[in-house]
């Protein structure tokens, strides 16, 4: 199963969009779309100067580039060779450097207490053992370090209405265009999964679009698609 997941993400690097542009213009197009869809992500780049940051599942490096841009000392891991190759191009075109490593999120090859921040946006719900991935993040974080993680919300409007998610959640689909593994969680489940951390803050968001600013907070906190966890070790 893990090999199949790796092959799928090699064929479909995360964050890729349809674009006629090439070179740095392509990566800028990807970034523009990503932060239009998820404008709150940009908040996570603030205050990272000089901090050691690990991104678990860095994809083609869109967020990783910005952690470096704002002064972070960044390492990006991914199980997709193709994604890491594109991330390296992205970094070079922007004039930045970061360590890129082919690695499994469930088996982080770092010593205990290594990073100030571990960031993983929309990755661990595609892994076989999500709990092991969270435990590994806790292990490699420095004392009082921060984990910023996004997981999909089981009680979201998107899950209720999206036929592919309802049909294929938790198992491999036969259709090649849909990712091999997708899981969703409730807030109660998330709190249990992050129980090793000293504190945890949970927020929910719709996939950002023109409606995001017009949806009342009490609705977002109930049925938003993204559960965003900020946890302190």
What are the pLDDT tens digits along the chain (233 aa)? Answer: 788 888 877 887 776 766 666 799 999 999 998 998 888 999 999 999 999 999 999 999 999 999 999 999 999 999 999 999 999 999 999 999 999 999 999 999 999 999 999 999 999 999 999 999 999 999 999 999 999 999 988 877 666 656 555 554 544 433 445 677 888 899 999 999 999 999 999 998 876 555 555 666 666 666 677 899 999 99
pTM exceeding 0.85? yes
| CA 58 vs CA 61, 83, 89, 169: distances in Å | 5, 8, 13, 23
One DSSP character per residue, 112-176 reads SS-EEEEEEES-GGGSS-HHHHHHHHHHHEEEEEEEEEEEEBTT-HHHHH-HHHHHHTTS--SST
Place of tokens 């921040």: 117
Q: In CATH, which of 3.40.50.880, 3.90.1150.10, 3.40.50.150, 3.60.15.10 is domain 2-232?
A: 3.40.50.150
């Amino acid at each position: 199963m893990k090999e199949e997941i790796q092959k799928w993400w090699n064929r479909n690097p995360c964050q890729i969009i349809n674009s006629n542009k090439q070179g740095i213009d392509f990566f800028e197009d990807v970034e523009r779309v990503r932060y239009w869809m998820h404008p709150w992500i940009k908040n996570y780049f603030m205050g990272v100067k000089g901090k050691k940051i690990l991104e678990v599942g860095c994809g083609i490096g869109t967020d990783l580039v910005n952690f470096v841009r704002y002064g972070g000392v960044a390492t990006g891991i991914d199980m997709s060779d193709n994604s890491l190759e594109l991330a390296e191009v992205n970094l070079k075109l922007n004039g930045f450097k970061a360590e890129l490593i082919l690695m499994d999120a469930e088996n982080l090859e770092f010593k205990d207490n290594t990073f100030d921040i571990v960031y993983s946006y929309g990755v661990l719900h595609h892994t076989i053992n999500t709990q092991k991935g969270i435990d590994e993040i806790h292990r490699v974080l420095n004392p009082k370090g921060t984990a910023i993680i996004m997981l999909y919300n089981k009680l979201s409007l998107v899950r209720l209405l999206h036929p592919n998610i309802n049909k294929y959640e938790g198992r491999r689909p036969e259709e090649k265009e849909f990712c091999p593994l997708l899981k969703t969680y409730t807030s109660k489940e998330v709190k249990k999964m992050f129980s090793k951390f000293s504190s945890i803050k949970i927020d929910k968001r719709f996939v950002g679009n023109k409606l995001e600013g017009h949806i009342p907070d009490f609705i977002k906190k109930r049925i938003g698609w993204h559960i965003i966890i900020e946890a302190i070790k």
